[in-house]
């Protein structure tokens, strides 16, 4: 169980770090027109990979520690993140980016990638 938890932590941190680097402008193509918002890497598959990665790492910590308390904290953090994304972040981004963001919302799931979904670069 602990080895699985360590794997979940590492996967979550890798996802969060990759997402953070993209937000900071690292790892994106420098040629051609820059998209209004980031649609690359994990952002092609889920809308909130940075938060998802951090929540995944917290869930992995609950497995490593075999702690219901840490698991409950992970669940509470996930609920709080979901509420913040739905009530604050998405309305702000919708107002800022308009139709392009509305299309992104339609095509890309919020938290979990669609099984068997194909990569669609037409969002950029």
Q: According to the model, what pLDDT value does residue 27 have? A: 59
Distance, CA of 57 to CA of 77 (rounded, Å): 12
Categorize the per-residue pLDDT at 24 as very low, low, confident or very high, splitting at 50, 70 and 90.
confident
Q: What is the pTM of this model?
A: 0.82
Nearest to 75 by CA among 59, 60, 61, 86: 59
Q: According to the model, what pLDDT value does residue 124 have? A: 47
Higher-confidence residue of 25 and 49: namely: 49
């Amino acid at each position: 169980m602990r080895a699985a938890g360590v794997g979940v932590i590492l996967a979550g941190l890798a996802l969060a770090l990759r997402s953070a680097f993209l937000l900071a402008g690292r790892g994106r193509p420098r040629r051609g027109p820059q998209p209004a918002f980031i649609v690359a890497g994990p952002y092609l598959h889920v809308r909130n990979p940075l938060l998802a990665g951090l929540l995944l790492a917290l869930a992995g910590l609950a497995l490593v520690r075999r702690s219901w308390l840490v698991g409950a904290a992970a669940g509470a953090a996930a609920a709080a993140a979901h509420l913040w994304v739905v009530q604050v972040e998405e309305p702000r981004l919708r107002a800022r980016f308009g139709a392009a963001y509305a299309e992104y919302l339609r095509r890309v799931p919020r938290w979990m990638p669609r099984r068997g979904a194909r990569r669609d670069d037409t969002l950029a």
